[in-house]
Structure 1
Amino acid sequence: MRERSVEHEGRPADPDKRTLRLQLLTVRNRLTADDIEEAGAALAGWALKLPELARARTVAAYVSVGSEPATRALLDALHARGVRVLLPALLPDQDLDWGAYAGEGSLTQVRHAGRMTLREPAGDRLGPQAVTGADVVLLPGLAVDAHGMRLGRGGGSYDRVLARLERADAHPALVVLLYDSEVVERLPAQEHDRPVHAVVTPSGVRRFRTG
């Protein structure tokens, strides 16, 4: 679902990014379950105040796993508002298919060979192109910098999503969900990297100029 593999197929690993990922994951892994849930609740409170989410009819989101900031409170609040929430399902080539979220019963655990178990939509698959109809895309990540450049886990799944949006001339709001300490001054960036419009953390929202 979220960039769980090694570097994007066909692209060499960036040693600076790899080192940063290890450092950031080490910090995350010190968090307790209570820390993660508290952060997720605070983050949801801020995210729900975003004008982009207030007027959105379709939001592409994700189910957090492990030490990621918890997203279930946000997913449930969006669903309760009547928003169509799309969640990703990881394909064998690391691309993402999508399905609709309709509450706890609409999720199933899927074990991907060599990777962690992910919670994915249990219903019909809508195809990778479904994301192009979203008004907002909520992105996972490990960090974002002052220019809005996001550091993912390195699997390339969301690189493909962003490239698909660009090819379709789709322009949803791109919002990354992180912990406060993961907003940094500068990250190493490559030509294919695309900036996000905003980051939401447990303490607030920060917007970026993207054009």
Structure 2
Amino acid sequence: MQTQSPIKELKKALRLEALARRDALPADYRSNASLQIAGHGISAISFAPGEIISGFWPIRSEVDLRPLLFALRDRGARLCLPVIIDKQTIVFRELLQDMPMIETGFGTSGPHEDAPVVDPTFMLVPLAAFDERGHRIGYGAGYYDRAIARLQNLDINPRLIGTAFDCQKVEIVPDEPHDVPLEAILTESGLHSFGSIDKAN
């Protein structure tokens, strides 16, 4: 039986610990913090008119990005959500106001299959844990790592902003060569930049 590498074992432990802290947050705290996150994002995030921004519908105890996403749409963004199409791949379907939402696997929801598939240039990324350098730990399936790599192969280098609660921060994420650091992290305490966040007006 093949054993996991020490880095993957450490990532797994950090993931479980951070998610346990997130799960322990009271529901009213998560709701209020999600509204704070929306407020910080609305005031601090810049993007080009018509830019395609990916977000996600919340599952379990995740940040609820819907208030932020709808505000970004009101400011001219095109929105899309990830959809799992097989055990290895996600694609991004455009979130259109007249398109129904459907279950898309693993407790997630996304636009109906008739919605256009698009390539985001700006991604609001879910995560389990993050550190002050901008490295993240995902949920372990690697969907976003592969999606980002696919976009880069198309010469698209999407802006990556992680979204999480402050309690998900860890001292250090053990990074691997394929890991792509975040540009910033958006939490209830604000938008914390690891690089330039003001690339478009």
TM-score normalised by length of structure 1: 0.82
Say yes or no: does 1:188 pair with 2:182: no
* Corresponding residue number in structure 2 for 1:147: 133
C-alpha separation in 1, matches of 2:166 and 2:47 = 21
Alpha-carbon displacement from aligned partner over 1:5-25 (angstroms, at most 9, x marks no partner):
xxxxxx946110111111111
Which runs of 5 or more residues in structure 1 are unaligned? Answer: 1-10
Considering only aligned residues, what root-mean-square deviation do their CA atoms show, in Å? 2.3
Runs of 4+ in 1 over 6 A off after TM superposition: none
Residue 118 of structure 1: which of 71, 85, 108 is its match? 108
Say yes or no: does 1:90 pair with 2:90: no
How many pairs align? 192
C-alpha separation in 1, matches of 2:16 and 2:82 = 24
SS at 2:92 equivalent: strand
* Corresponding residue number in structure 2 for 1:4: none
Which runs of 5 or more residues in structure 2 are unaligned? Answer: 197-201
1:1-211 to 2 correspondences below 5 Å = 12=4, 14-53=8-47, 57-103=51-97, 106-110=100-104, 112=105, 116-127=106-117, 130-131=118-119, 134-209=120-195
Alpha-carbon displacement from aligned partner over 1:84-118 (angstroms, at most 9, x marks no partner):
101111121231122121349632224x3xxx321
Alpha-carbon displacement from aligned partner over 1:108-135 (angstroms, at most 9, x marks no partner):
224x3xxx321111252544xx32xx33
* Corresponding residue number in structure 1 for 2:199: none
Q: Percent identity?
A: 30
Give the letter aligned to residue 28 of structure 2.
D
Cα distance change of structure 1 residues 208 and 169 upon mapping to structure 2, 3 Å threshold: same
C-alpha separation in 1, matches of 2:27 and 2:177 = 36
Give the letter aligned to residue 39 of structure 1.
A
